[in-house]
Amino acid sequence: MSGGHWDHSGYTIEHMLTQIGNDPAIIKRFPKLSEILIKLGHTLYITEHTLDLDISGDAIIKNDIEFETNTMKELKKCINY
């Protein structure tokens, strides 16, 4: 198998959140939210991609608990100000 378990939706999520975060109106009115959306989009993309590779058999997450813990830390970094 070769990836695509969720139709490569991580890219779509990142693209959408980056578009919103880079919108001039959002930057002007909600500058902190803009930064969070961009960071969150990238982190969610990496998370989806890693999970996709594991589920499709292209790669292996060696330690589920460690992966989940590290991913949660990265997600929290996106929203902590």
- Region 60-71: mean pLDDT is 98
8 has a pLDDT exceeding 90: no
63-77 b/e (C-beta count within 10 Å ≥ 16 → b): eeeeeeeebeebeee
Q: Greater confidence, 7 or 17? A: 17
31 has a pLDDT exceeding 90: yes
2 has a pLDDT exceeding 70: no
pTM (2 decimals)? 0.89
> 22 near 42, Cβ under 8 Å?
no
35 has a pLDDT exceeding 70: yes
